[in-house]
Amino acid sequence: MRRPGLTTRFLAVSGGVIAGIFLLAAALARQSNEPSTRPADMQRLVWIFATIISVVVIVASLIQAGMVLPRLRRILRGMEEVRGGGYPRLLAAGSDELAETVRGFNETVDTLRARDEKLRAWAGHRESELMKLSQELDHERERLDTVLSAIGDGVIVLDSENKVLMANRRVSEIFGIPVEQLQGCDLAVLIEQVRHRLLRPDLVEKKVLELRRAPSLVDEVTLELDDPGHQAIRLYSVPVHGADGHVIGRIATSLDLGREREIERMKTEFLSTISHELRTPLTSIKGSLGLVLGGAAGTFSADARELLDIARTNTDRLVRIINQILDMMLLERGQALIRPVPTPLGTCAERALRAVAAPAQEAGVEVRLQILASMPNVLGDSRRVEQVLVNLLSNAIKFSTQGHEVVLSARAEGDTAHVTVQDWGCGMSPEFLERLFTKFEHAEGSLTRESQGMGLGLAICRHVVQAHGGRIWAESKEGAGSTFHFTLPLSISPIAEPERRSAPAAADASGAPRLVLVIDNDEDVARILSYIFETQGHQVICAHSGKEALELARRHRPDLITLDLNLPDLDGFEVLRLLRATEESRHIPVICISVRPDVRLALALGADFCMEKPLDIDRLRELSGKALATVR
């Protein structure tokens, strides 16, 4: 049976009370009509009536409260429980409004529970995903840290404000700051940290300023450290661009030049030792064979002589191979001393012809020379030019057949000498022609030829010609012969006096010829240095002693000085100190060039650059360009 609603029940109670009041009021009215009723009795009855009514109203109120309050309290407790994270279920007996409210509460709690469970499941899933990502991130970071620390060279990543985002152990060593403290450091602060150890802090600071002004600059700077090891570190830096093309930072890597130089020194030492160790036993073999064949040990049969001849020929071949390998290695590393001076090409050609006369005669090949007597001198190292000619002529003879001729010709074309060696032999395939100047390459089927070497001859020719600033190439047709071409620069000005000469052209970016003071006690070296600067369009004055140098520097105030440290009167370091102490020469860039191993000390005394001999012409051009760029 459906239970009545709260309103009905409240109305029933209230109706009961009102009915009681009306009954009492009627009884009171009847009593007041009685004649026997006195006013005092009437007054008492009214008081009794009021008291009864009050009691009935209180009782009715209590009954109504008793019907609602306990159920409301249960609902409130349930809500409290929901707030605390619980999911209570309340008893929903009956069908009144409160029972309906309880049922609504229960449904809401059920919905909440279901939603929470779903949320918890999703959160758990996301949490495990995040955990996995975090682990992967940690792993990647560890891997990156390991890689960065394993790199011997320094790696530093900067943000757009030049603050360190990441740096490795080597950077920490260079700047003397623990890796963890590098994070967030400003580049200027880092430079300040090593400022006292830098030989030229001004150059480094200037470079940092340039990078700030032009963030997209790809640049390099060398840090020369004034420590016992005279560390030199070259920093290469490149900008990092964001998706929108803006520079968002910079990555710099450092190269330890000290280590590089040490490796170079070791390689040279190794080459020298290998060369010596191979030559020593060969000397005994070749010497002994020569003596025996020369009759020092008496006479022997024709067969024995033939065998000894084979031994001698192959010893000579071995010597040639060793020479070629050594030469190739030196040329490849730019260490072969090539000194281009004005050289008569005709003389080199004649000497080359004499060198190949015997094999040419043996092969029945005639070698002709076509060089005009008026041919200007080339700018070349005569021994090297001759080496190229002998190589090309030997090849031409080797691939010609009896009765053929080989022609060596040369002509001047502008400021270049164009030399050709032409033969009408077997020629080469287009495929071989492409890799002709690559080392260890042989023409097809030529390995069987007795005189075949390592395939280094043409590779050496290429290096030699290129070291002179020339070009080498070949044209060939199978069965129709080959023509080898190479060019050399012509000597544009005779070198006679190492005195001040006029410049052929201004090569400096500013357009004005510069004055270079070359200080070297060796006149030949001074002449070569002069020539290098003159071909760049500069004017040159030379000094062969310290005192002469100081006087010329004071009088002429050159734009650049090259200084040899071994001078007859004053020590080169002393000359440098005096140059720096004199007002007129204080700011002139100085490049120290010396065979002395302590040449780098010159940097501490104020030299701008230093170079070890033997002279690396390209490096000198590069350094003088840099030094002159600072002079305006």
Partner 1 sequence: MEREVKLTRVLVVEDDVDIQKVIRMSLKLRGVSEVVLVESGTECIERLSGFTPDVILLDVMMPHVDGYETCWRLKQDPATRAIPVVFLTARVQKADRERGMKLGALGYLTKPFDPMTLHDQILELLTEHAGKKNENDGGADG
Site of interaction with partner 1 (CB under 8 A): 272, 275-276, 279-288, 290-291, 293-294, 296, 315, 319, 323, 326, 330, 336-337, 383, 522, 613-614
**How far apart are CB 282 and partner 1 at their closest, in Å?**
5
Tokens of 268: 């040279």
Secondary structure element (H or E) that encloses residue 248, with its range: strand 247-256
**CB 288 → partner 1: shortest distance, Å?**
6
Quote the least distance from Cβ 196 to partner 1, whole Å: 38
- What tokens does 47 get? 């008081």
CB of 289 to partner 1, least distance (A): 9
In DSSP terms, which residues pair with 412 in a beta bridge?
Answer: 417
If the CB atoms of residues 382 and 400 are measured against partner 1, the closer one turns out to be 382
Q: Are 483 and 395 contacting, i.e. CB atoms less than 8 angstroms apart?
A: no
**Quick one: tokens of 405?**
């001729």
C-beta separation of 348 from 385 below 8 A: yes
| Cβ nearer to partner 1, comparing 387 with 400 | 387
Q: SS3 helix, strand, coil % of the chain, rounded to 5?
A: 55, 15, 30
Q: Which is nearer to partner 1, 387 or 530 (CB)?
A: 387
Of 1 and 296, CB closest to partner 1: 296
Shortest Å, Cβ 168 to partner 1: 39
Q: How far is the CB of 322 from partner 1 (least distance, A)?
A: 9
Residue 131's Cβ-count burial label (10 Å; 0-12, 13-18, 19+) is: exposed
Nearest to 82 by CA among 120, 108, 115: 108
Minimum distance from CB of 318 to partner 1 (Å)? 9
Identity of residue 86: G
CB of 438 to partner 1, least distance (A): 25
Smaller CB separation from partner 1, 282 or 601:
282
- Closer by beta carbon to partner 1, 525 or else 602: 525
How far is residue 349's CA from residue 377's CA, in Å, rounded to a whole number? 12
Q: Would residue 106 be called left, alpha or beta, if left means φ above 0 and alpha means ψ between -120 and 50 degrees? A: alpha
Shortest approach of partner 1 to residue 587 CB, angstroms? 34
Return the number of the residue (331 or 560) whose C-beta is nearest partner 1. 331
| Least distance between partner 1 and beta carbon 281 (Å) | 8
| Cβ distance to partner 1 smaller for residue 336 or 459 | 336
With the CA atoms of 13, 14, 19 and 25 taken in that order, what torsion angle do they form, in degrees rounded to the nearest 10?
130
Is the Cβ of residue 532 or residue 590 nearer to partner 1 in the bound state? 532
Encoded tokens for 509: 């970016």
Q: How many helices (H) and strands (E) does the chain have?
A: 18, 17
| Nearest CA among 553, 562, 619, 552 for reference residue 594 | 562
Nearest residue (CB) to partner 1, 237 versus 324: 324
CB of 315 to partner 1, least distance (A): 7
DSSP state for residue 84 in the 8-state scheme: T
Residue 542's Cβ-count burial label (10 Å; 0-12, 13-18, 19+) is: buried
- Tell me how far, at minimum, the Cβ of 200 lies from partner 1, in Å: 30
**Least distance from C-beta 497 to partner 1, angstroms?**
22
Q: Is residue 165 within 8 Å of residue 172, measured between CB atoms?
A: no
Query: DSSP readout, 280-342?
Result: HHHHHHHHHHHHHHTTTT----HHHHHHHHHHHHHHHHHHHHHHHHHHHHHHHTT-S----EE
Q: What is the CA radius of gyration of the chain?
A: 52
Q: Which amino acid is at 439?
A: K
**Residue 281 or residue 414: which is nearer to partner 1 going by CB?**
281
Q: Provide DSSP, 472-541.
A: EEEEEETTTEEEEEEEEEB--S-----S----SS--STTSS--EEEEE-S-HHHHHHHHHHHHHTT-EEE
HSE (side-chain half, CA atoms, 13 Å) at 601: 14
**Identity of the residue, 142 or 309, whose beta carbon is nearer to partner 1 in the bound complex:** 309
Q: Whole-number minimum distance, CB 391 to partner 1, in Å?
A: 18
Q: Residue 18 belongs to what H/E stretch?
A: helix 6-33
Of 296 and 509, CB closest to partner 1: 296
* Nearest-approach distance from CB 148 to partner 1, in angstroms: 41
Q: What angle do CA 295, 296, 298 make, to 5 degrees?
A: 60
- How does DSSP classify residue 38? -
CA distance 553 to 547: 10
44 CB-side CA count, 13 A = 6
Among residues 363 and 565, whose Cβ is nearest to partner 1?
A: 565
Give the helix/strand (H/E) hosting 422.
Answer: strand 416-423
Q: Which is nearer to partner 1, 327 or 534 (CB)?
A: 327
